[in-house]
Amino acid sequence: MKKYTIGLDFGSLSCRGILVDTSDGRICAEAVMAYPHGVMTEKLTGGTLLEGDVAFQHPRDFREAMVAVVRELVGGCENAENIVGIAADTTVSTVIALAADFLPLCELEEFASRPQAFAKMWKHHGAAPMAKRVEQICIEQDRPYLDWYGGSISPESLFLKAIEAFERDREVYDRTACFIELADYVTSLLAGKPIFSRPLMKSKAFYDPKTGYPDADFLRAIDPDLVGLPNKLTYAFKDRIVAIPGEAAGKLCPEMAKKLGLPDGIAVSAGTADSYSPLLGIGIKSPGQMIMTVGTSTGIMIMSDEPRRVEGVTASLPEIYGIKNKHCYASGQTSTGDALGWFAENCIPSRYEREAEAKELSVQALLTEKAALLPAGSGGVMALDWLGGNKSCLANPNLTGLFIGLTLSTKPEQMYRALIEATAFGARAIIENYEKSGVPVREIRAAGGIVGKNKLLMQIYADVIGLPIKAGRCPQIPALGAAINAAVAAGVYPDIERAVDAMSVKDFDIYTPNRENHEAYNGFYAEYMALHDYFGKGGNRIMERLKGKI
């Protein structure tokens, strides 16, 4: 009898789902739904104006998208009764403030206009000022957290976003029963009981499996009234289940089974991050294998047998990918597709739009076509890719983008290619940081929405980095990783390793470095790193001054 699982991938702008044959990982059906409210950076749904480096979402979008996507998948399946498990990966930390009845706080009328009551998207940086204070307390009290998180504390983590609510809207904080990761929220809805992913607790919420959350002395140093914060995290629920992805954390509850059109009682795996699940989908299970998940942002993940101190990573912790006895590192870039999309939307003359329309191309496709004709180095234009700040290795959300080399004859495609090259330079900086820290990179695999759409970008990455890149042909690799977790949770496979062997992607496009271009890029990369260090390491803090952060 065929057995199927469903993998749900909650990205920045939409939820994508796949129905997978567990025998070989074949995708039998796909569905997608964009979030109706999108990303709110300027005003909330009710019109409340927003300020600062913020990004909010509406939790109702996640529920509606999940139901619509799963029902479409089930509707196209002739043997829906053979679906045995479901799992999700999501952006992290996307944090939802829940009332006592598990309802998102922003859905209560009295909080419908309060920003801190809405879901804070992963790239929401409102907690940046608090992050610096927490870093200082870690140093003063000799806490291990800086070692866990690459030497700095990210304002993107759940822990900091909860503190932000405490400082910016005390009523929202007081009424919040639980600050919950999106991955845990959707998993708990599926199972009808609170389920939390231990890897996300460790990597995003300062949780130690042996000692729990930070103690009262640490929290009191931030603010005396914060000592109860752990009771607004997973400790909020006495009946909570804490599990790792791939474990059968629960079963699909009858209420959700009816909404989704699925058999009730099928296995529900603990959730994971959308940057972690692609490792499984693309077949990574050994040290030295690195994955780059290239989409609106870029996640760069790798493992080692023994822990190494790597500055600028967002996590350095054991087993957070669900693979036992491996030390795991997470890092990334905040704006890849976001930066290219911003440029195409805001920096293009009308004649390019008309040309794209005449050729029946998107503006980005036209820019890519023109950029492919340019030499390495974009004809003398360079950029810094920090339009959303720098995640790794500088860990500074207040850094900004830069173009240099512009003249009166500069064309849009030069700037567009310079942005692509800048993201490739940023990825190379992360790779070299791992190498010098004792975490070797022997192989690079790539996944994500951009990978299958922009061959120029992938070739530039290979040329800049100087290593072949194996790009998975499957466009739904994160969701496939979730489906693999669901298969293990359902007992189809005894462990993650064997499920990965059977179900991961087998078809790749190989991008081999062009040696001539690589030599040329070595010179440009040196210039990029000079700019990187000058603006990113204190040589000139004009970027932060212009943002009003210093």
- Note the pLDDT of residue 158: 98
Mean of the pLDDT values across residues 38-62?
95
Chain Cα centroid distance, residue 125: 14
For residues 19 and 8, give the distance between their C-alpha atoms in angstroms, rounded to a whole number. 9
- Helix (H/G/I), strand (E/B), else coil: 516: helix
Q: Do the Cβ atoms of 69 and 15 come closer than 8 Å? A: yes
- What number of other Cβ atoms are within 10 A of residue 415's Cβ? 21
Given a cut of 90, is residue 186 above it in pLDDT? yes
Where residue 120 falls (left for φ over 0; alpha for ψ -120 to 50; beta otherwise) is beta
Please name the residues in contact with 199: beta carbons below 8 A apart, sequence gap of 6 or more.
244, 245, 272, 273, 276, 317, 319, 320, 321, 322
Torsions phi, psi for 202 (to 5 deg):
-75, -45
- Note the pLDDT of residue 76: 80
Share of the chain above pLDDT 70, in %: 100
For residues 78 and 401, give the distance between their C-alpha atoms in angstroms, rounded to a whole number. 50
Given a cut of 90, is residue 131 above it in pLDDT? yes
Mean of the pLDDT values across residues 29-45?
96
Chain Cα centroid distance, residue 467: 24
DSSP code per residue over 292-337 = EEESSSEEEEEEESS----TT-SEEEETTTS-TT-EEEEEEES-SH
Mean pLDDT of the chain: 96
Name the DSSP letter for residue 271.
P
Pull the structure tokens for residue 383: 């950029």
Among 333, 290, 527, which residue's Cα sits nearest to residue 423? Answer: 333
- Note the pLDDT of residue 535: 98
- What number of other Cβ atoms are within 10 A of residue 130's Cβ? 22
Mean of the pLDDT values across residues 171-175?
98
At residue 340 the predicted structure's pLDDT band, cuts being 50, 70 and 90, is very high
Among 15, 5, 120, which residue's Cα sits nearest to residue 67? Answer: 15
- What number of other Cβ atoms are within 10 A of residue 300's Cβ? 26
Helix H or strand E segment including 496: helix 496-503
- Note the pLDDT of residue 1: 82
Beta strands in 428-523 (DSSP E): 443-447, 469-472, 508-511
Mean of the pLDDT values across residues 429-449?
96
Report the DSSP beta bridge partners of residue 56: 40, 120
- Give the gyration radius of the chain's Cα atoms: 22
Report the DSSP beta bridge partners of residue 6: 19, 86
Cα distances (Å, whole numbers) of residue 13 to 65, 356, 419 = 11, 24, 22
Among 281, 276, 282, 275, which residue's Cα sits nearest to residue 470? Answer: 282
For residues 461 and 426, give the distance between their C-alpha atoms in angstroms, rounded to a whole number. 10
For residues 283 and 109, give the distance between their C-alpha atoms in angstroms, rounded to a whole number. 46
Q: In this structure, which amino acid lies at residue 235?
A: Y
Given a cut of 90, is residue 46 above it in pLDDT? no
Among 460, 470, 472, which residue's Cα sits nearest to residue 514? Answer: 460
